[in-house]
Structure 1
């Protein structure tokens, strides 16, 4: 596979008169976890649908695993797996039956299907529930089964569209470990997420898009440092944040920010100083807040 698992140059897409993607340039190194962030309506799902061959682009170049999406779509499809936002499993069947069925549909022999199913059940910690109907599974178990199904045939690139939305904290962190293990196996993981902490914890590279355009790309550390060295927060008596400002961290800058922030405020309000978070980055880049993960 190419050193770049995914590359887009000037990618554009519109539906009717609405421009959804407006010149997306992106490079995803092979073997990395790459996170795509953006507010609702930013174009995240449309982008992942184009990269996974579900939509055609209107303009621009898209290369997946070194193959041009416009001319080598079949080769692209042989290089990718996709797990969408909703679990695509048969609730009437057991977890084992779901996996075996997909193995056979993917062209594996009966013996190969049995072996691959057992391997995936072990890897995704579903062996104990293998004989149970999927309708009895928890949300986290269903999500693990859904990802396992997408990996029935080993592909070098995996697309995960909001893989942990709606899951509790324990289930989310369990999936995080699985995603990190996939990276260790050399799989490129391209994920969209509603949760900033998820991108911060998992991603080697993060791209933020807004209104169909890339507004920033970098590591979590570089993106956070780009907005300042320290964040000042002013809290009221109820411990609610009433004002905030990012600063360079120098004494001069912090004094100036404090003077501006505390104008017309009660002297009993409290001041706290912290390092920038991905929330600060997102708000600075998009003027919107992302959803917070459940705790």
Structure 2
């Protein structure tokens, strides 16, 4: 019974240990500080979104976690163990799907997956079922004998993913996996990431497509200038900012004085009218729509189609960083 309790206690401790723990990480390039006492914790079993504008330090942070870069100070632990360039057992538990497709053009789809799997699984007999599993997972069965040059952009992305996950990693980094692919391929890739996660893999996901991040990520960290800015679920992040809904009103007759009255409302951040549509950005408030409609009705404005859109993750990002995600 004591042995059974010990095993259960060990498993509970392992489950409670973060997949990734980064504390006060500093990385400098000369006088430039790429990571400024950066903190990060990724729980086991989650899909974790890492967002930041270009130059924010995302890639540097990932490369430090993977021990591909040295750093000036701080600590990095993966599955509770220190991560170093010589942490080969840890590295076998990690998969990387880079933004730029990294496959060998001389090899077929099947040969590529087998080659990258062999970096972690040396015995051919052990690799064969893993390669077949990766081919099926990525939907590449009809293309196994194709070389990369014959594949569409979406299929190339799927091959890139298959090469990164064939060894069944416990932790997978996806860096912009859906760049420049068609909607059908994008949906297939996102569904594949969900299935990986449901099978037990922890996922770190970076993307410039906010709707993807909001759709699949359990928690999201926003960073800029090498620093941790905000962390939470998409809904939690939206409560951290002052931005409220965006209201759009179709109308052919919003006069200048009516527009001025709308702009004078205390909750209005910005209002514009193009002769057909009134667009109003609001701060958070309980009666914004009612108060706006009161002004429009008092002015005799004819109101057509009306929409009220809650703040988006992009609004959060813009308010916290002052930049659009692709800046």
C-alpha distance in structure 2 between counterparts of 1:72 and 1:31, whole Å: 25
Q: Is residue 294 of structure 2 the alignment partner of residue 251 of structure 1? A: no
The aligned length equals 285
Equivalent residue in structure 1 for 2:74, among 60, 64, 77: 60
C-alpha distance in structure 2 between counterparts of 1:10 and 1:215, whole Å: 14
Q: Which residue of 2 is the match for residue 273 of structure 1?
A: 308
| Structure-to-structure mapping, 1:225-240, within 5 angstroms | 225-227=239-241, 230-233=244-247, 234-237=271-274
| Structure-to-structure mapping, 1:10-25, within 5 angstroms | 10-25=24-39
Q: Are residues 185 and 269 of structure 1, via their aligned partners in 2, closer, same or farther at CA, if it must alter by over 3 Å?
A: same
RMSD between aligned residues: 2.8
Q: Is residue 323 of structure 2 the alignment partner of residue 288 of structure 1? A: yes
Q: Which moved more, 1:154-163 or 1:206-215?
A: 154-163
SS of the residue corresponding to residue 207 of structure 1 reads strand
| Structure-to-structure mapping, 1:112-261, within 5 angstroms | 112-227=126-241, 230-233=244-247, 234-237=271-274, 244-248=281-285, 250-251=286-287, 255=291
Q: How far has the Cα of 1:133 moved from its partner?
A: 1.5
SS of the residue corresponding to residue 4 of structure 1 reads coil
Q: Are residues 101 and 71 of structure 1, via their aligned partners in 2, closer, same or farther at CA, if it must alter by over 3 Å?
A: closer
Q: Are residues 121 and 219 of structure 1, via their aligned partners in 2, closer, same or farther at CA, if it must alter by over 3 Å?
A: same
**Structure 2 gap segments, 5+ residues each:** 1-13, 248-270
Where relative contact order (Cα < 8 A, 6+ residues apart) is larger, the structure is: 1
Q: Which residue of 1 is the match for residue 50 of structure 2?
A: 36
Q: Which moved more, 1:100-109 or 1:79-88?
A: 100-109
Kept in 1, the 8 Å contact 2:243–2:282? The answer is no
Q: Are residues 117 and 75 of structure 1, via their aligned partners in 2, closer, same or farther at CA, if it must alter by over 3 Å?
A: closer
Residues 101-136 of structure 1, C-alpha deviation per residue, up to 9 Å, x if partnerless? 233443433333332221211111100111111111
Residues 182-223 of structure 1, C-alpha deviation per residue, up to 9 Å, x if partnerless? 100110001111111111001001000011111110001111
C-alpha distance in structure 1 between counterparts of 2:178 and 2:211, whole Å: 12
C-alpha distance in structure 2 between counterparts of 1:190 and 1:113, whole Å: 25
C-alpha distance in structure 1 between counterparts of 2:59 and 2:277, whole Å: 34
Question: TM-score scaled by structure 2?
Answer: 0.79
Bigger Rg, which one: 2
Q: Are residues 81 and 235 of structure 1, via their aligned partners in 2, closer, same or farther at CA, if it must alter by over 3 Å?
A: same
Residues 129-163 of structure 1, C-alpha deviation per residue, up to 9 Å, x if partnerless? 11111111111111111111112222211111111
Question: TM-score scaled by structure 1?
Answer: 0.86
C-alpha distance in structure 2 between counterparts of 1:26 and 1:184, whole Å: 23
Q: Are residues 238 and 161 of structure 1, via their aligned partners in 2, closer, same or farther at CA, if it must alter by over 3 Å?
A: farther
C-alpha distance in structure 2 between counterparts of 1:43 and 1:22, whole Å: 9
**Structure 1 gap segments, 5+ residues each:** none
Kept in 2, the 8 Å contact 1:36–1:207? The answer is yes
C-alpha distance in structure 1 between counterparts of 2:28 and 2:132, whole Å: 43
SS of the residue corresponding to residue 226 of structure 1 reads coil
Q: Are residues 107 and 232 of structure 1, via their aligned partners in 2, closer, same or farther at CA, if it must alter by over 3 Å?
A: closer
Q: How far has the Cα of 1:171 moved from its partner?
A: 1.5
C-alpha distance in structure 2 between counterparts of 1:155 and 1:22, whole Å: 29
